[in-house]
Every structure is written in structure tokens, then in C-alpha cells.
Amino acid sequence: MHSPKKDGSIDNRDEINYQHCHESRLYFCYHICPKLFNAICERESSLVNKSHILDGEIFQLLRKIGLQLMSMILSYLSSQLTTDDLEKGYHVHRHIRVNYFVLFGPIEVESPYMWNRDKKPGNRPVKNQLSITEGGRSPALEKALVSLGINQSYQQAAKQFEQHYGWNIDRYRIRRAVAKIAPLAEEYVSQRLELSRAEYDKPLSVRPGVDRILVELDGSHIRTGIFQSAQNQQLTKKRQIPEKKRTIEWREVRVGLARPLENKEKRTFVAKMSKYPQVVNQLVSAAIDQGMSLLSNVYAVGDGAQGLCSELEEQFFNLQFILDRCHLKQHLYETAEALGVEGSQKQNLVNEELSRIDAGKVQEVLTNFKECLERDDGKRQR
């Protein structure tokens, strides 16, 4: 990618830097790999028997190489930055070593506190210029922790991380990584959905949209925990800070999606721990993001929960609500029981009515049940 200069000409330094980086990687592959190959072949006497597990052992070897290489590079940069400050008149006031976590494992990095009486305040070059702090994590490690932590419990994510990357990391670090990125992700989603609203205001001649949009919305309860100050006011043994107690609560989260009816792969999801008006408002933005316009027919599939259908009809234009199949079967069974049908006859009745619905004879099913209920009510009155 070329960068434009102020005079309008093209600066190709970015491309040169990329080529240089690419060539450096090729140099590593062409010169280092043969040395590793020779070392492994000379020292391992039973490669044939180990062929099926060799990739795992090589992975561990490469992880150790990566950890040592990162340690050497960060140590070199720390020394270089310290030397630069010494040349500016600073001196090392305190020697500090911090634990920094990279994708290959933990590393100890020298991070001295530099002091100059004439230039206040002091300086921490490793912290300020390399962004390396005690307990800090590299962006690549953060990405791996978040990818695992958002899909399962933090304890299980820690076990899976060790299986994939070959070293153990505390589950609390995964929790902190997810908690750190969650507000940023929520802000990004809100901005993305807000931008999609502007597309909806464009003239239909410019943006006619897709013909049919499918939206789905459902809810489930998830286990949440919030740390709150304990009533006993005791201090922790190690850090001597007030103890906190985790308050467990099951909260309902509502998840929805929107997509063109003809495209199962192109989808926009929304999720929120809020009431239906807020969630459906985001679902409308998701549908707009997928191409909904005033001309689009919207088909909503849901469980018929109280307030769901009415809120969808309130915020969507040209909407047709469809009860999902599992809840449809549940209502059919309840109707059969209300009519006094039991045993195998109840199962046969539900299957027959489902076949009629699948064939498009919905009104016939409704009429049939209505007549049955009227006959049942007549028998009770007599």
C-alpha cells in the first residue's frame, strides 16, 4: 500500500518495509529450518516411531524458541531505551523487573525507573514507550484469551488454552481480558448499528433493499456474578484489601438475528440484557444492516412470549409473525389435552395437524379446532 506525500506524490516506503519484513521471514525459514532439521535428525534415533507425535513436540520446541527470542528482543529494547535515557542525563534510580505475558509464555523484563534532578518527573522508558507493565499482555495473547473466554467458562477456557498453547495461564487473567474488551465490543456494535440507520433514510430509488428479511428473537437465562463488598469487613490475607463476595444471579439475555431470507450465511446478530423495546430496536438496525427497506417483507420467527409479538409489530413495517415449530407443537399438544384426547390418539392428532400446517392449510386447522372446542363447550353446557 502506497502512502501519499504532502505534494501529492507517492511514498512507497510502506511497501519496501513490508517486502523487507517478508524477506526476513523467508531468511529465517531458509537458513534456520535446515539447522533445526539437522539437529533433530542427528539426535533422534527413532523418528519413524515418533512420526505421529512429532508435530506436537516440534510445536513445543517452537514455543520455547519463540519465548527465548521474545525475551532476548525485549531485553535488548529495554537496554537500548535505558542507554538513551542515560545519554540524556538520567540515572537509574530503581531497578525493577516486571512480568509480561506474550503468546509463548511469561517473560521477565527489566523496567528501570530513571531519574534526573533537573527533569521532573522521573521516566519509565520501558513502560512509556513499549507499553510493558507488570502483568501486562501482548495484543496477540489478548486476542487468544478473549476468543476462548467468550465462548465458555473461564476455568474451561484456561484448560483449553493450555491444551492449545502449551503453557498454563490463570483463569482470572482470562476474565480480565474479556472484561476489558467487552465494553469496546459493545461500543463497536452500537456504532455499527447506528450507522446502518442512516442507510434506511436513503431514497428507495437509491437503496431499494432486499425483498424478504427474516428476523428471529429468543431469550435464555445465563448465570452472572457481581463482586460486592462483604458484610464482615474482613481483609484479605495477601493484599490486605476488603473482602468481596460474588453475588450470583440468573439473568435473561435476549438474542436475535436478521438475514435475507434467501441467504443463510449472511447474518447480523444482536444480544442484550434488556427489555423487548431495546432489543427489538437493535434488531431493526440489524435488519437494516442486512438490506431491509420500506419495500421489504419481514418474517419474524419467535416463541410467542408475552410482549414479543406486539413489540415486533410495533417497530417493524410489513411484518408477519410466525410461531416457531417447537412451540407450535407444544400448543398443539396443549390443545389436544384440552379436548380430552389422550395416548396415541393425541400423538396422531398432533402429527395430522402438523402435516396440514406444512401443506399450507393453516386456516383449515384453526377452523377444525374451533369447531371441536365449540362442540366440547356445548357438551359441557348440556
Q: What confidence tens digit (pLDDT) does each residue in 119-157 have? A: 778 899 999 999 999 999 999 999 999 999 998 889 999
Q: What is the pLDDT of residues 328-353, one digit of tens each?
A: 999 899 888 888 888 888 899 889 99
- Alpha-carbon distance 57 to 11, whole Å? 44
Q: Domains, the chain, ranges and CATH?
A: 1-39 (no CATH), 50-137 (no CATH), 202-221+250-323 (3.30.420), 327-381 (no CATH)
Residue with the three cell numbers 532476548: 72
| CB-CB contact of 213 with 258 (8 Å) | yes
The position carrying cell 423495546 is 277
Element (H, E) at 219: strand 212-229
Dihedral over alpha carbons 283, 288, 289, 292 (to 10 degrees):
120
Task: Classify strands 319-323 and 297-302 as parallel, antiparallel or unpaired.
Answer: parallel
Dist. CA 137–CA 179, nearest whole Å: 14
- Can you give the pLDDT at residue 377? 64
Cis bond upstream, residue 121 (ω within 30): yes
Tell me how far apart the alpha carbons of residues 226 and 229 are, in angstroms, rounded to a whole number: 10
Residue type, 358: D
**Position of cell 398443539?**
332
Q: Give the per-residue pLDDT at 382.
A: 44
- List, for the chain, all residue ranges whose pLDDT scores fall below the cut of 70: 1-24, 230, 376-382
Amino acid at 380: R
Q: Which residues contact 122 (CB under 8 A, 6 or more apart)?
A: 93, 113, 114, 115, 116
The confidence score (pLDDT) of residue 259 equals: 96
Q: Where are the alpha helices (DSSP H) in 10-46?
A: 13-43
Instruction: Decide if 292 contacts 257 (C-beta within 8 A).
Output: no
Q: What is the DSSP string of 336-350?
A: HHHTT--HHHHHHHH
Distance between CA 132 and CA 124 in Å, rounded?
10
User: Under 8 Å CB-to-CB from 346, ≥6 apart: which residues?
Assistant: 333, 336, 337
Cell of 269: 446478530
Rounded CA separation 82/19 (Å): 31
pLDDT for 112 equals 95
d(CA 217, CA 307): 12
How far is C-alpha 113 from the chain's CA centre?
38
Residue type, 319: L
